[in-house]
Amino acid sequence: MKTKWTKKGLKDFELRIINLFESGYARCPIHLSGGNEDELITLFQSIKSNDYIFSTHRNHYHYLLKGGDAEALISEIKGSALGLCKGCGRSMNVYDPKINFYSSAIVGGNCAMAIGVGLALKKKKAKFHVWCFVGDGATDGGHFMEAVRFGHTRHLPVTFVVEDNDKSVDSSAKDRWHNPMPINASNIIRYEYTRVYPHVGIGRHVTF
């Protein structure tokens, strides 16, 4: 049975990951979610069980809200052979074909994959949809731009969700582009949020 995740439940999960990392039980790079619980809970109400999710290196919330196994994800992050990907994916490369969930640790690396699946679904006349999550940093690159244009002009069942925390590593959009303008298209959903964890380091997260 799919868990109905609440804002508190999602936060508590990430706090578990923090404790694993800071106690040395999770020896891998980890990008924590946080500050965007409300937006994602609302968004995932529109995502159907057979839809495809292509996530990023910051994928914990996406996986849980899609209906993933929380304990299998914990084991995966710990590097256990009992983990979701047998300990090979850790935190940033999570996949679960049973629920059509895939992620890529490469910034923008999921865009072409999402478009490929969207094209296949259209050719098969399948009624599923593809949701591709990216951060604002990924929108700076050609991978994102080409995928958005390809999907838009061919009317593919793909929606790009831009999770904009205005930090590509630790640089704001203004620092990167001087006078940035968000990229808008009919196949893009964008929401802004303030992250509650630093990009690097331990023991310095904001209480939330």
Mean pLDDT of 155-168: 94
- Dist CA 147 CA 59 (whole Å): 20
Which is more confident, 44 or 19?
Answer: 44
Residue at 203 is within a domain: no
Is residue 65's pLDDT more than 60? yes
Whether 204 and 198 have beta carbons less than 8 Å apart is answered as: yes
Instruction: Decide which of 176 and 138 is more confident.
Output: 138
Question: Taking the model in full, what pTM does it have?
Answer: 0.90
Residues 149-171, mean pLDDT to the nearest whole number: 92
Within a domain: 167: yes
In a domain, 198, yes or no: no
pLDDT band of 113, cuts 50, 70, 90: very high
Please check the confidence at residue 8 and state whether its pLDDT lies above 80. yes
Reading the block at residue 126, the tokens are 């399948």
CA distances from 172 to 58, 115, 166 (A): 18, 28, 5
What is the structure's pLDDT at 166?
A: 86
> Is residue 106 included in any domain, yes or no?
yes
Task: Please state the domain count of the chain.
Answer: 1
What distances in angstroms separate CA 62 from CA 54, 130, 163, one per listed residue?
9, 13, 12
201 pLDDT exceeds 80?
Answer: no
CATH number reported for the structural domain that contains residue 12 in this entry: 3.40.50.970
The pLDDT of 142-151, averaged and rounded, is 96
The dihedral region occupied by 26, where left means phi > 0, alpha psi between -120 and 50, and beta the remainder, is beta
| Domain span including residue 97 | 7-192
Determine the pLDDT at residue 1: 59
CA 62/CA 45 separation, integer angstroms: 12
Q: Is residue 207 part of a domain?
A: no
Q: Report pLDDT for 128.
A: 96
Instruction: Please report whether residue 87 resides in a domain.
Output: yes
Least confident piece of the model among 55-64, 72-81, 95-104:
72-81
Indicate whether 197 belongs to any domain.
no
